[in-house]
Structure 1
Amino acid sequence: MANSLEAAKSELVELAHRRMQHAIADNAWSDRQRLALTCRILFDGGHDSGLAGQITCRTGTPGRYYTQQLGLGFDEISERNLLEVDEDLNVIEGAGMANPANRFHTWIYRHRSDVNCIVHTHPAHVAALSMLETPLVVSHMDTCPLYDDCAFLPKWPGIPVGNEEGEMITRALGDKRAVLLAHHGHVVTGRTIEEACVLAMLIERAARLQLLAMSAGDIKPMPPELAIEARNWITTDKRHAAAFAYYARRALRTHADCLA
């Protein structure tokens, strides 16, 4: 006999979260493996743009982070060819050089102690939306993790290799997890690599949905309280871990070489 048919939604949400804590296992990959998997996942998700874009995560040493080697595409990144660099982009471990545009990552890491992973890419629909100088509009349940959590930088600062660009992007991001960059792409951040990867996949889907909806009519706003409820429902470590694990399983079917 059912015992929960009279329960309030808040009770059912709490019950589901408690069950997730036991039912969803934590991912066992190392940070280097998660970062390599993120590169392959985003490649499959349409985030490839030649050599453009950077994905980084903090190492265990303050002021250092892992990133990909300049000259390799996202589909070529493995845990073995990742670089460890310092805040000046000097290579501490690995061969080759980091993308000079990684400089703005240093600014974000310095200003946001809660951020442990940064994804910056130029996927097609995000890039197209950025050409319209239009902020991201969240008006669908699936994209609610970005509701009121995606900033907008309306001024293109040019190539992001200077400290000025680092200051500008960091200031625009503020305390949010994502920012859409006009005439450029996006930046998403996460407390975990899984969170940043999932949000990066989501922002491209959100931009695609927005462009499709704009082509058909006016986008209708969501009730704020329901959008926040959906954001809080989806935005948990366990949900991010489960989504990342799914994306990783899918990627490993064709990208087994990214793990040693």
Structure 2
Amino acid sequence: MAKTLALPKEQLVKQALTQMQNTLADNTWTDRQKLALTCRILFENGHDSGLAGQITARGPQPGTYYTQQLGLGFDEITAGNLLLVNEDLEVLEGHGMPNPANRFHSWVYRARPDVNCIIHTHPTHVAALSMLEVPLQISHMDLCPLYDDCAFLEGWPGVPVGNEEGELIAGALGDKRAILLSHHGQLSTGATIEEACVIAQLIERAAKLQLLAMAAGVIKPILPELGREAHDWISKPKRHAAAFNYYARQNLRQHADCLN
């Protein structure tokens, strides 16, 4: 005999969250391995743009972070060839040089102590949408982790290798988890590497769906209270970790070398 068919939604949500917390397994990869996995995941999901884009995560000491070497594509990143750099982009561990555009990551980390990972890429659909100078419009349930959580920078400041661009992007991001950068790309953040990876995946899908919908007609908005409800329901650390683990399993079938 069913026991839950008369329960209110609030109670069912609470039960589901408890079950997720107790059932969904955490991973045991190091931060270096998770960053390398993220690079391969994004490479396989449309974020590759040659040498453009940077992925960083806070390092063991304040003012330090891990990032990839300039000259390597996302599909070449391994846990062993990542760099540890400081805010001046001086290499503390590893060989090679970081992307000079990493400078603006320092400004985001300084402005957002809650952020532990930043992903900046130029995926195809995000880049196309950015050329229209229109904000991301969230109007589908799957995309709701970005509902009222994606900022928009309409003016393009040029290549982000100066401190001015860092201040501008960090200021435009504000307290949001992501930002669409006109004539440029996207920036996703997370309290964890897993969260940032999932948000980066999501923003590219959101841009693709928005372009498809705009080509067919006028996008209809969802009710704000339902958008916020879905945002909070999907945006749980256990959900982000489970999604990341799935993407990792997919990619480890052909990218197992990234863990080395």
User: Secondary structure of the residue that 1:220 maps to in structure 2?
Assistant: coil
Separation (CA, whole Å) in 2 of partners of 1:99 and 1:195: 23
**1:27, CA displacement in angstroms?**
1.2
**1:26, CA displacement in angstroms?**
1.1
Q: Which residue of 2 aligns with 1:252?
A: 252
Runs of 4+ in 1 over 2 A off after TM superposition: none
Separation (CA, whole Å) in 2 of partners of 1:209 and 1:190: 23
**1:89, CA displacement in angstroms?**
0.3
**1:174, CA displacement in angstroms?**
0.4
- Counterparts in 2 of 1:93-242, with a 5 A limit? 93-242=93-242
Percent same amino acid at aligned positions? 71
Q: Which residue of 2 aligns with 1:8?
A: 8
Deviations 1:127-170 (A, max 9, x none): 00000001000000000000000000000000000000000000
**1:83, CA displacement in angstroms?**
0.2
**1:61, CA displacement in angstroms?**
0.8
Letter matched to residue 212 of structure 1:
L
User: Secondary structure of the residue that 1:47 maps to in structure 2?
Assistant: coil
User: Secondary structure of the residue that 2:157 maps to in structure 1?
Assistant: coil
Q: Name stretches of at least 5 consecutive residues in structure 1 with no aligned partner.
A: none
**TM norm structure 1:** 0.99
Separation (CA, whole Å) in 2 of partners of 1:224 and 1:15: 24
Letter matched to residue 242 of structure 1:
A
In the alignment, does 2:94 pair up with 1:86? no
Letter matched to residue 20 of structure 2:
M
Separation (CA, whole Å) in 2 of partners of 1:60 and 1:45: 29
Separation (CA, whole Å) in 2 of partners of 1:140 and 1:256: 34
User: Secondary structure of the residue that 1:62 maps to in structure 2?
Assistant: coil
**1:25, CA displacement in angstroms?**
1.0
User: Secondary structure of the residue that 1:71 maps to in structure 2?
Assistant: coil
Separation (CA, whole Å) in 2 of partners of 1:238 and 1:60: 24
Separation (CA, whole Å) in 1 of partners of 2:259 and 2:75: 12
**1:198, CA displacement in angstroms?**
0.2
**TM norm structure 2:** 0.99
Letter matched to residue 64 of structure 2:
R
Separation (CA, whole Å) in 2 of partners of 1:8 and 1:193: 34
Q: Name stretches of at least 5 consecutive residues in structure 2 with no aligned partner.
A: none
**1:2, CA displacement in angstroms?**
1.1
Deviations 1:76-109 (A, max 9, x none): 0000000000000000000000000000000000
**1:39, CA displacement in angstroms?**
0.2
Q: Which residue of 2 aligns with 1:44?
A: 44
